[in-house]
Structure 1
Amino acid sequence: MKPQFRYLDKPALEPVPGCDWADKMVLNPAIIKDPESEEIHMLFRATGPWPQKRREGCHDPYPIFLGYAISRDKGETWEADFSRPALAPALGYEEHELYITDINGNKVRNYANGCVEDPRIFYIGEELYLTVACRPFPPGPYWLSSQQPPVQTRFEYVPDWIFTGHDTDPFIQAARANDTVSVLYRLNLAELKQGNYENAFCYVGPLTEGHVSDNRDVFLFPEQMRIGGTRQYLMLHRPMNVLPFADGDKINKPSIYLAAAESLEDFASPNAVHRLLAYPVFHWEENRVGASWPPLPLGNQEWLVAYHAKKDIHFGYTQSFMILKEQENDFPAVIHRCSERLMFAERDWEMPEDYPTPCLFTTGGIVVGEDLIMSYGAADQKVGISWVNYGELLSYIRQYDKNGHLTGDSRP
């Protein structure tokens, strides 16, 4: 039987007029259950105009922030702190301002200087981490690039000196394109829920190479796996330009990749080994696919991976699921892939406003009791919450083989 998804009948969170950092968009939330209570904690992406940093002749910049919210009733209602961002970009423009102290006390380039977007929260072992897609510099009103005629504002706040910097400097190369680089933070949940935001986030470093490709939808498995004879960390990512990666010339569309590395620092280097996991196959995936939120363990060395796809600006972003199984001394492989889009924009408040594309974009998933609770961005401007019976969902996905075909005589 097809699983029945339940949705809130209104946004869980939406932009707040007059809140300078969140009055335009509030979206793409990550969630994590409190290990000590029934509370669910959320970090959400938000933006608003930032005129105090406006350059003459340019639009207002729109840096992107993370805000914090909490639910005490399994996601039915949310209390958000709109008094200040939980994590804000540094917004420096001079060379000496573009550094941050990392988790080891080193002064390093700050890829989170301009934007911190699309959070995902997950454990690696006993430690809690956060990934965000970051831009070195904020754009202007970036949604104008999706309108007709398009208005490109991505480069309005890239300083002139960046274009005369060293061509071999990876940070300079990423900054020139103002592409996203996914960055890892260690997250202190106790400090976060107490509102001590300045102590809640510790910069670890980049996980992707901005000079190789814009790269989003990045997060790690909670456990290391034996790959190529050694225990390695394993990461999911979705490069926009797949040509530099394994089999990229065969697919040439943004797709889901695995990356293995012996240390977290090795991911943003040639030391990481990449393997194509899944690429667009079904009609609703025509433009791209990407993993949605961190994998959930199912036992028996199996993992649930939620993923999203985009066909075109009219069909929009939709969601489905696959199950992976670990392989002996190798990357895990897809063993079940649902060929049906199971979640997509349907409610009025999920329909596009500033963007032309319908969008239901899940960025968090946790199991509470019998339910899988998912948080998602709607219409690229609001936050939604959905529930589905976890066992029913898994049974449904298992009816499909690795290629999305129904197995035997099973019917959904």
Structure 2
Amino acid sequence: MKPEFRYFEKPALEPVPGCSWADKMVLNPAIIKDPDSGEIHMLFRATGPWPQKRRAGCHEPYPIFLGYAKSCDGGATWDADFSKPALAPALGYEEHELYVTDINGNEVRNYANGCVEDPRIFYIEGELYVTVACRAFPPGPYWLGSQEPPVQTRFEYVPGWIFEGDASDHFIAAARSNATVTVLYKLDLEELKQKNYESAFKYVGPLTEGHVSDNRDVFLFPAKMRIAGKMQYLMLHRPMNVLPFEGGAEINKPSIFLAAAESIEDFASPRAVHRLLAYPVFDWEENRVGASWPPVSLGNKEWLVSYHAKKNVQFGYTQSFMIIKEQENNFPVVIHRCSERLMYAEREWELPQDYPTPCLFTTGGIVMGEDLIMSYGAADQKVGIARVNFEELLAYIRQFDESGNLTGQ
């Protein structure tokens, strides 16, 4: 029997008029269960016009921030702090402003200068981290690019000196296209709970290479796995340009890849080894697929992976699930893949407004009691919460084989 997904009839969070950094969009939330209480903590993406950084002849910039919220009733209601962002881009434009102090005290290029988007929270070896999709410079009102006729604002705030700079500099190369680079931060949950945001986030560094491909939907497994004779960290990612990666030329569509590396710093380098995990197969996946939130351990070396897919502008983004299994001395493989779209925009408040594309986009999932609780972005403007019985969901997914065929087992 197909599991029943339960939704609220209104958004959990939505834009706040008059809040400069969150009055246009509040969406794509990551969630984590408090290990010391029943609270759930959330980081959400938000944006609003930022006239203090407007350039003559350009639209107002729309830098992207992270905000903080928490729930004390299992996700039914949320208390959000709209007094200030939890994590904000630096918004520098001169060369000397584009550096940040990393977790080791080094001054390094700041890939999070323009936007910090789409957080995912997870543990690595018992320590808490968050990934964010970053741009070197903020865009203008970026949703205008999806309207007819489209208005492109992605490059309005990329300064001229970037285009005159040395293209062999990987930061310069990524900034020229204002490509998304996924950055890793170490997250101090206690400082976040106390709203001591300045000390809650420590910049670790990029996990992807913007000069190779725009890349997002990135997160790591909580422990190393033995791959190719070495204990390695393992990462899920979704490059927009798959051609530079093994197997990419055959599919040529944004897809889910695994990456293995002996150190976290190696992921954003040629030392990482990549392997295709899943690519568009079903009709509702025609344009792309990507993993949605960090995998959940099922025991027996199995992991639940939530993933999203997009068919086209009219059909939009939908969600489904797969189960992958670790292999002896090799990358994990898919053993069950649900060929049905299980979550998609249906409620009025989830349907398109500024964007033409229907969008239900999950970015967080935690198991509490009998339920899997998921946080999602709706219509690219609001936050929703959904839940489903966890065991019923797993039983249903296990009825499909690795290719999505319904076996009935």
What TM-score range do you get, normalising by the shorter chain?
Answer: over 0.9
| Aligned match of 1:225 | 225
Match of 2:206 in 1: 206
Any gaps of 5 or more consecutive residues in structure 1?
none
Q: For 1:122-170, what per-residue CA distance to the aligned partner results, in whole angstroms no more than 9, with x for missing partners?
A: 0001100000000000000000000011000000000000000011000
Structure 1 position 223, deviation (Å): 1.1
Alignment of 1:20-31 (within 5 A): 20-31=20-31
Partner of 2:149: 149
The answer as to 2:178 corresponding to 1:171 is no
Matched-pair identity in %: 81
Residue 129 of structure 1 is matched in structure 2 by 129
Q: Counterpart in 1 of 2:319?
A: 319
* Unmatched segments (≥5 aa) in structure 2: none
Normalised by the size of structure 1, how large is the TM-score? Answer: 0.99
Counterparts of 1:343-362 in structure 2, within 5 Å, are 343-362=343-362
Does 2:15 match 1:15?
A: yes
2:254 maps to which residue?
254
Map 1:11-410 to 2 at 5 A: 11-407=11-407, 409-410=408-409
Say how many residue pairs are matched.
409
**SS of equivalent residue, structure 1 residue 295:** strand
Q: Supply the RMSD in Å over aligned alpha carbons.
A: 0.4
Distance, in Å, in 1 between the alignment partners of 2:8 and 2:178 is 36
Secondary structure of 1:198 counterpart: helix
For residues 182-234 of structure 1, the C-alpha deviation after alignment (integer angstroms, 9 at most, x for no partner) is 00000000000001000000000000000000001000001110000000000
The residue type equivalent to 1:107 in the other structure is E
- CA distance in 2 between counterparts of 1:8 and 1:201 reads 31
Aligned with 2:290: secondary structure? strand
Give me the whole-angstrom Cα distance separating, in 2, the residues matched to 1:246 and 1:48: 39
Q: Deviations over 1:337-361 (max 9, x none)?
A: 0000000000000000000000000
Paired amino acid for 2:356: P
How far is the alpha carbon of 1:406 from its aligned partner? 1.1
For 2:4 and 2:370, the matched residues in 1 are separated by 13
Take 2:173 and 2:149, find their aligned partners in 1: how far apart are those partners? 28
Report the Cα offset of residue 320 of structure 1. Answer: 0.2
Per the normalisation by structure 2, the TM-score is 1.00
Report the Cα distance in structure 2 between the residues aligned to 1:167 and 1:276, rounded to whole angstroms.
29
The alpha-carbon deviation at position 174 of structure 1 amounts to: 0.4
Q: Secondary structure at the match of 2:92?
A: coil
Q: Distance in 2 between matches of 1:368 and 1:238?
A: 28
For residues 61-100 of structure 1, the C-alpha deviation after alignment (integer angstroms, 9 at most, x for no partner) is: 0000000000000000000000000000000000000000
**1:394 Cα offset (Å):** 0.2
Runs of 4+ in 1 over 2 A off after TM superposition: none
Instruction: Write the distance in 1 (CA, Å) between the matches of 2:253 and 2:328.
Output: 29
- Residue aligned with 1:380, SS: coil
For 1:340, what is the secondary structure of its paired residue?
A: coil
Aligned mates of 2:361, 2:236 — CA distance in 1: 17
